[in-house]
Amino acid sequence: MSYEDLCYETLVLAGVLMKEALMAYVAGKWPEMRRPQGESPWPTFRNARPEILEVVDQKLADQTYAHYVD
Judge contact between 66 and 57, C-beta under 8 A.
no
Give the total number of structural domains in the chain: 1
Judge contact between 60 and 68, C-beta under 8 A.
yes
pLDDT at position 46, please? 59
pLDDT at position 30, please? 78
Judge contact between 69 and 59, C-beta under 8 A.
no
pLDDT digit string, tens, across residues 11-70: 999 999 889 888 988 999 877 877 666 666 555 555 677 888 888 888 888 888 766 545
pLDDT at position 27, please? 92
Global pTM reads 0.45
Question: At residue 7, what is the residue type?
Answer: C
> Which domain range does residue 9 map to?
3-68
